[in-house]
Structure 1
Amino acid sequence: MDEIKLSDDVIEQIKDFFHDDLTEEQNSLIDKLISNEKLKERYKEYDLCHECNQINTGHDYCRSCKSKYFQQNFKNWTSGNHKVDEFIQKAQLEAEHYVKIIEWIEYDKFEDIEYLAKGGFSTTYKAIWKNGNIHSIKRNGQLRRTGEVKVALKCLHNSQEITADFLKEVESNILACDPTSSFVVCCFGITKDPKTNNFMMVMKLKECSLRQHLNINFNSLNWGNKISLLEDISHGLKDIHNSELIHHDFHCGNLLNDSGLAYVTDLGLCQPANVKSSQNDKKEIYGVLPYVDPEVLRGKEYTQESDIYGFGIIAYEICTGLPPYHDIPHDEFLAMKICNGLRPRSDYKIPQFIFDIINQCWDAVPSKRPKAVELYSLFIDLYGDYCRGDFTIWKQAKEADEINKKSLSSTVQPALSSTGALSYTTHPQAVYTSRLLDFKNLPEPKNAENNDDLFEKEYSESLRINFTNLDINSKVIHLLRHISISAPPLGP
Structure 2
Amino acid sequence: RLRKVRHEHLNLYTGVCIDSPKFAIVSNWIRGINLHEIIHIQNDSIQLNIAVQYAAQIAQAMSYLHEKSINHMSLRTTNIFVQNNRIILTDYGLVPLSKCFRVTDQPAIIAPRGWLSYLAPEIIRKLDPRNEETILQHTPQTDVYAFGTVWYELLFREFPYAKQPPEYIIWRAGNSIKQPLSSVHISKYAKDIINQCWSFAPDDRPDFAMLCKSLSKMPGKRTLVRSPSTPLQYNARLHIETQF
Identify the TM-score tier after normalising by the shorter chain. 0.7 to 0.9
Alpha-carbon offset, residue 374 of structure 1: 1.4
Whether the aligned pair in 1 keeps the contact of 2:34 and 2:80 (CA below 8 Å) is yes
Equivalent residue, structure 2, for 1:298: 125
* Distance across 1 between alignment mates of 2:11 and 2:88: 6
* Distance across 1 between alignment mates of 2:227 and 2:186: 14
RMSD of aligned alpha carbons = 3.2
Equivalent residue, structure 2, for 1:216: 42
Equivalent residue, structure 1, for 2:50: 225
Whether the aligned pair in 1 keeps the contact of 2:121 and 2:176 (CA below 8 Å) is no
Structure 1 stretches of at least 4 aligned residues deviating more than 6 Å after TM superposition: none
Equivalent residue, structure 1, for 2:9: 183
Alpha-carbon offset, residue 265 of structure 1: 1.3
Give the residue type in structure 1 aligned to 2:13: C
Equivalent residue, structure 1, for 2:28: 204
Equivalent residue, structure 2, for 1:265: 90
Equivalent residue, structure 1, for 2:60: 235
Larger gyration radius, structure 1 or structure 2 = 1
Query: Against the structure 1 CA distance between its residues 330 and 362, is the aligned structure 2 distance closer, same or farther, given a 3 Å change threshold?
Result: same
Equivalent residue, structure 1, for 2:107: none
SS at match of 1:431: strand
1:36-55 superposed matches below 5 A: none
* Distance across 1 between alignment mates of 2:241 and 2:10: 27
Alpha-carbon offset, residue 217 of structure 1: 5.9
Alpha-carbon offset, residue 378 of structure 1: 2.8
* Distance across 2 between alignment mates of 1:260 and 1:345: 31
1:5-404 superposed matches below 5 A: 171-172=1-2, 174-178=3-7, 182-191=8-17, 197-206=21-30, 207-214=32-39, 215-216=41-42, 218-219=44-45, 221-270=46-95, 288-299=115-126, 301-331=137-167, 333-344=168-179, 349-379=185-215, 381-382=216-217, 393-394=219-220, 404=225
Alpha-carbon offset, residue 306 of structure 1: 1.0
TM-score for both structures, normalised by structure 1 = 0.38
Give the residue type in structure 2 aligned to 1:259: N
Unpaired runs of at least 5, structure 2: 98-110, 127-135, 230-238
* Distance across 1 between alignment mates of 2:144 and 2:88: 16
Query: Against the structure 1 CA distance between its residues 271 and 352, is the aligned structure 2 distance closer, same or farther, given a 3 Å change threshold?
Result: closer
SS at match of 1:364: coil
* Distance across 2 between alignment mates of 1:271 and 1:353: 30
Query: Against the structure 1 CA distance between its residues 235 and 352, is the aligned structure 2 distance closer, same or farther, given a 3 Å change threshold?
Result: same
Unpaired runs of at least 5, structure 1: 1-170, 273-285, 384-392, 405-409, 414-427, 434-492
TM-score for both structures, normalised by structure 2 = 0.72
Alpha-carbon offset, residue 271 of structure 1: 5.7
Give the residue type in structure 2 aligned to 1:187: Y
Q: How many residues align?
A: 208
Alpha-carbon offset, residue 183 of structure 1: 1.0
Give the residue type in structure 1 aligned to 2:152: Y
Give the residue type in structure 2 aligned to 1:328: Q
| Alignment deviations for residues 161-204 of structure 1 (CA, whole Å, 9 cap, x no partner) | xxxxxxxxxx43x24333xxx21111122247x8x831222222
Identical pairs, percent? 20
Is residue 242 of structure 2 the alignment partner of residue 431 of structure 1? yes
Query: Against the structure 1 CA distance between its residues 329 and 269, is the aligned structure 2 distance closer, same or farther, given a 3 Å change threshold?
Result: farther
* Distance across 2 between alignment mates of 1:348 and 1:329: 22
Alpha-carbon offset, residue 228 of structure 1: 0.3
Equivalent residue, structure 2, for 1:57: none
Alpha-carbon offset, residue 412 of structure 1: 5.4
